[in-house]
Amino acid sequence: MGSISKPLLQWFDQHGRHSLPWQGNPANIYHVWISEIMLQQTQVSTVISYFNNFIRYFPNLAALASASEDSVLAQWAGLGYYARARNLHKSSKIIAQDYQGVFPVNIEQVVALPGIGESTAGAILSIGHNQNHAILDGNVKRVLSRYHQVKGHYGQSETLKQLWALAKQHTPNTRNNDYTQAIMDLGATLCTRSRPDCSRCPVKQGCQAYQCGTQTEYPNPRPKKNKLSRSIAMLVYQNKQGQVYLEKRPAKGIWGGLWSFMECEDSAKEINRTIQQFDTSAHINRTLNPIKHSFTHYHLIINPVVVNCSEQAHVFQSANQLKVGVPTPVNKILAQLD
Ligand code: SF4
């Protein structure tokens, strides 16, 4: 079977995305790197404003490497999957120290950086350095699963191995950078998750799923597991000036390194015990609307409890002038305080 690269590149020249903020001629590998990390699990339309903002704060690798983790997380807040930001920051320090501040151009060295897998490394070096590499991000997995009617979910190692072999088979040695962008664009704009626009697809002639009318069956879904729900209370300590108390979360675990309200088990006994430990004169003012936040493996139900307190030992912050990164549910709780 021939490669899809020829019709795909022809389509890309006419219909691909050529003016994204991280695309340049010549490419700036720092910009490409930041964008590829942001684009892991996040769509282009969401990433654009975060990317522009991030580059304004950290215009080059030296600026990122010398920034504090809090300031990096603050610019990332809202984009989710915060390990990406912490790894980006760690990588910038490694590059500053071990590679004299120049992004490495050897794929093994790039894969060795925290948070960068084979596909992301391939994309960065293909687009940012015009090297020949195959990629297999979510878009490419979807396109190739349909094009070849690949059975099984890509979370299973055999299926993943098959998809990598197909990705390598289709990847051309010329215009590799354009092909990388083109196949991502095809997945993002035409071969979309729920309603692929096959009539406009440049590779429909060879696409097995299109020929059989089975597009929506591929990629095969992940074998089902019921998501568990977990419930916690978040204690929104407020002083007389209306300022709130936030604490920095540990680096490991959910929302690592971000700032959040103190939390405890969602029971009256545990809430009262935790409040008394914080400030013996504190008392519950009211509860706010619960917030549901879903992670890959479970739903978290957050019940916010506003607590008035007068103690002076902790540092309170003005909610509308926060200079630290906070998780999305904390922002939703702060909005309810207005
Ligand atoms: S023909 Fe349809 S299913 Fe096949 S690759 Fe194109 S958009 Fe995807």
> To test the ligand 1 pocket, which listed residue (141, 142, 201) has its Cβ within 8 A of the most ligand atoms?
201
Q: What is the pLDDT of residue 149?
A: 97
- Give the C-alpha separation, 303 to 300, whole Å: 10
Q: Give 143 Cα–ligand 1 centroid separation in angstroms.
A: 7
The burial class, CB within 10 Å (0-12 / 13-18 / 19+), for 219 is: buried
> Which residues neighbour 298 within 8 Å (Cβ) at sequence distance 6 or greater?
227, 228, 229, 230
Ligand 1 proximal residues by C-beta, below 6 Å: 143, 146-147, 190-191, 196, 198, 201, 203-204, 207, 209-210, 215
- Give the C-alpha separation, 300 to 266, whole Å: 12
User: What values do phi and psi take at 17, rounded to 5?
Assistant: -95, 120
Residue of minimum CA distance from atom 8 in ligand 1: 191
Position in ligand 1 atom list of the atom nearest CA 196: 7
Q: Give 148 Cα–ligand 1 centroid separation in angstroms.
A: 10
Catalytic: which of 36, 69, 247, 263?
36
Over its length of 338 residues, how does the chain's per-residue pLDDT go in tens digits? 568 999 999 999 999 999 999 998 899 999 999 999 999 989 999 999 999 999 999 999 999 999 999 999 999 999 988 999 999 999 999 999 999 999 999 999 999 999 999 999 999 999 999 999 999 999 999 999 999 999 999 989 999 999 999 999 999 999 999 999 999 999 999 999 999 999 999 999 999 999 999 999 999 998 887 889 999 999 999 999 899 999 999 988 899 999 999 999 999 999 999 999 998 889 999 999 999 999 988 999 999 999 999 877 788 888 888 888 999 999 999 999 87
Position in ligand 1 atom list of the atom nearest CA 198: 2
Are 213 and 312 contacting, i.e. CB atoms less than 8 angstroms apart? Answer: no
Q: What is the pLDDT of residue 180?
A: 97
Q: What is the pLDDT of residue 271?
A: 95
Q: What is the pLDDT of residue 320?
A: 81
Position in ligand 1 atom list of the atom nearest CA 190: 7
What angle separates helix 138-147 from helix 157-170, to the nearest 10 degrees? Answer: 90
Q: Give 196 Cα–ligand 1 centroid separation in angstroms.
A: 6
For residue 217, indicate whether it is catalytic.
no
- Give the C-alpha separation, 232 to 301, whole Å: 6
Position in ligand 1 atom list of the atom nearest CA 142: 8
Q: What is the pLDDT of residue 1?
A: 55
**In this structure, what token pair is assigned to residue 7?**
């019709």
Q: Compute how many other C-beta atoms are within 10 angstroms of the C-beta atom of residue 79.
A: 21
> Which residues neighbour 268 within 8 Å (Cβ) at sequence distance 6 or greater?
none
> To test the ligand 1 pocket, which listed residue (190, 214, 216) has its Cβ within 8 A of the most ligand atoms?
190
**In this structure, what token pair is assigned to residue 301?**
């139900």
DSSP letter string, 181-242: HHHHHHHHHTS-SSS--GGG-TTGGG-HHHHHT-GGG-SPPPPP-PPEEEEEEEEEEE-TTS
